[in-house]
Chain A
Amino acid sequence: MLLRRSSTNIHKFGKIIFLRESSSLPVNQSSSHDDSTNKNTMFDNKLKQQMSERIPRIEKIEVTYEGRGIADNAVMYMNKHLSTPYHCAMHISHGLAQRGVIALVKPQNNEEQNDEVNQDNVIDNKEEDPSLIYSMNQPLDADCRLQFLKFNMSQATPWHHQQVNKAYWRSCAFILGAITKDAFQTSFSPHVYKFPDISEKSGAFCCDIVLDEAVKDWKVTEESLVYLTKLARGIISKQLKFEPLLVEPEFAMEMFHKDNYRRSEIEKFHEKNPLLPISVYRLGNYIDVTSGPLIMNTSMIFHYVVTAIHKLHSNANVNSWRMQGLSLPEDLKVHHTVWSLLEKRARKLVREDMYDNDTCTSSSSNKENLLKYESIENKTKIYSKATGQWVNNKWASADPTR
């Protein structure tokens, strides 16, 4: 039903030619997905190579869990370069393993100097104890003290909460990047330009994409936003892992040899801190560089909508658009009235990283204020016939490309 409904919408509003219809999928697939398959094979090979180099035989490391409760200060003997914070959390409790967002790792004194080569991010929390933020799927390198950060923490500093929120915002933007290839027709050569670093206070996470010159005057309609939201929900409902891989800058340059912007950013990062490796993440087939750790799994996400696509005029050479979205995790559900307020706010263009001189689609902004939007989430929800409640796990059937 949904598939048919979406296609009729496309005929009715003839302007949405950009969204790929289901019939055109298999024809153009081979050329566009060459690049991604290439990256995927490189990713797999690198992972295998790293495993064989680092683990000639399995060694044990001592991991101390710092937490509140019965298992406080429990000591675990885990496998070096193999077991992740997620595996440690599984030993402690099922709930912790499901809810842990990121891990705070404090390396023990003996091997502190050796560690710094293989770190994701060095962040000086306080001057006395430097602690590193690890993704839940990233293998541990040495003896350490572990702490898990969740969305809801009763006794935590604002700094901890900021790190969790940033990681969540980053990974939601990552999903926006993952749907761009599927969302648009291949003839418009869509690709992700960058993930701007935007704080959660601006109300929406962003992903800048570049389209072909032919679609300069695209008028974004409500139907296309609903379509994009359904695509994103399709990915989320598959409960995919965010797989991390730490690589050298040379390898990353080779991986993104077509992408000039990303190459320049990798170079900049390498110049700033030459000791650190570059973190590459994979979600399904999509691979990209990120500025920090992501969350563990897409199953944590509860609300997710794509709220707006705005045209950017900042760089006149390329036809760039900004996709915006809003999301909240399972632990932090909100009432539908609050959600509608937040969603309305997320429709506005985020100008956090722009200068005031930039004028972006200001012609329609007055009209937007007058319009009363219906919530996109309501349009994409599926209710269970048995219970009358929102079915969160069966979103895969809503994927219109199937």
Chain B
Amino acid sequence: MPRGYAHGTSFRKFGGPEKRLNLLRTLVNVLIKHERIETTFAKAHEAQKYTNRLIEIAKRGTDDAYSRDMIKFWAPREEIQSKLLNDLVPRFKEHKSDFTRLAVLSKQYCAEPRQSFHRYAVLELKGNPLPPLPIQEKNPHTLQNVLIAAAQEEMFNKKES
């Protein structure tokens, strides 16, 4: 897959800067409208970052010129803008980051027969009203996770004091 590199992080080119921006903009808009979308893994993975960033900016409010511009560019339609500001911002008020969830689909769950080399994935906003995906959550109560969490807490307290 052709990839661009900027500051040590790789990204998909998606056929050039203009096409890439248009594609991502539609993906982000559709995601905000429907709350759950199904695309190839590459597209979903890219769109996830932009959605997270957009919600982060929208949480600041529209007083800022920068955030106003950004919302205008990434969500040009009014209905999407109103949903973003009136629905999603209060929903994620107490969350710091990670407003979306990405799950890779296995072949059997794909709706249509597709080319085998494309991985498909589901991208969704957290706290959506749709029935939940069958994803196995991490279990924080198993022995190794308890040990790791306790060690992390100790390190964190050490840094603070």
Partner of B147, one of A156, A164, A203: A203
Contact between A345 and B142, CB atoms less than 8 A apart? no
Q: Tell me, yes or no, whether B97 is within 8 Å of chain A by CB.
A: no
- Counting contact residues on chain A (CB < 8 A from B), the size range is 20 to 34
Residues of A within 8 A of B151 (CB): 203, 341-342, 345
Residues of A within 8 A of B141 (CB): 156, 158, 161-162
**Chain B nearest Cβ from A367, distance in angstroms:** 17
Contact between A151 and B143, CB atoms less than 8 A apart? yes
Q: Tell me, yes or no, whether A332 is within 8 Å of chain B by CB.
A: yes
Q: Tell me, yes or no, whether A328 is within 8 Å of chain B by CB.
A: yes
Q: Count B-side interface residues using an 8 Å CB cutoff.
A: 12
Contact between A329 and B143, CB atoms less than 8 A apart? yes
Q: Mark A206-224, 1 if CB is under 8 A from B, else 0.
A: 0000000000000000000
Residues of A within 8 A of B144 (CB): 328, 332, 334, 338
Please name 29 pairs of A and B residues whose Cβ atoms are closer than 8 Å in the assembled complex, sorted by A: A151-B142, A151-B143, A152-B142, A153-B139, A154-B136, A154-B139, A156-B141, A158-B141, A161-B141, A161-B142, A165-B143, A200-B147, A200-B150, A201-B146, A201-B147, A202-B150, A203-B147, A203-B151, A328-B144, A328-B147, A332-B142, A332-B144, A334-B144, A334-B148, A338-B144, A341-B148, A341-B151, A342-B147, A345-B151
Residues of B within 8 A of A152 (CB): 139, 142
Question: In the bound complex, what is the Cα–Cα distance between A168 and B143 (angstroms)?
Answer: 9
Partner of B154, one of A156, A329, A345: A345
Residues of B within 8 A of A201 (CB): 146-147, 150
Question: In the bound complex, what is the Cα–Cα distance between A156 and B139 (angstroms)?
Answer: 10
Question: In the bound complex, what is the Cα–Cα distance between A338 and B139 (angstroms)?
Answer: 17
Q: Nearest CB to that of B145 among chain A residues?
A: A332
Residues of B within 8 A of A338 (CB): 144, 148
Question: In the bound complex, what is the Cα–Cα distance between A141 and B148 (angstroms)?
Answer: 39
Question: In the bound complex, what is the Cα–Cα distance between A203 and B150 (angstroms)?
Answer: 7
- Considering only residues 152-201 of chain A, those with a C-beta below 8 Å from chain B are 152-154, 156, 158, 161-162, 164-165, 168, 200-201
Q: Mark B124-147, 1 if CB is under 8 A from A, else 0.
A: 000000000000100101111011
Contact between A342 and B142, CB atoms less than 8 A apart? no
Question: In the bound complex, what is the Cα–Cα distance between A375 and B148 (angstroms)?
Answer: 17
Residues of A within 8 A of B142 (CB): 151-152, 161, 165, 332
Q: Nearest CB to that of A348 among chain B residues?
A: B154
Residues of A within 8 A of B154 (CB): 203, 345
Contact between B143 and A200, CB atoms less than 8 A apart? yes
Lowest 7 CB-CB distances: which A-B pairs, in order? A161-B141, A201-B150, A332-B144, A158-B141, A165-B143, A345-B151, A334-B144
Question: In the bound complex, what is the Cα–Cα distance between A341 and B150 (angstroms)?
Answer: 11
Residues of A within 8 A of B139 (CB): 152-154, 161
**Chain B nearest Cβ from A282, distance in angstroms:** 24
Contact between B148 and A200, CB atoms less than 8 A apart? no
Question: In the bound complex, what is the Cα–Cα distance between A156 and B150 (angstroms)?
Answer: 21
Q: Nearest CB to that of B152 among chain A residues?
A: A341
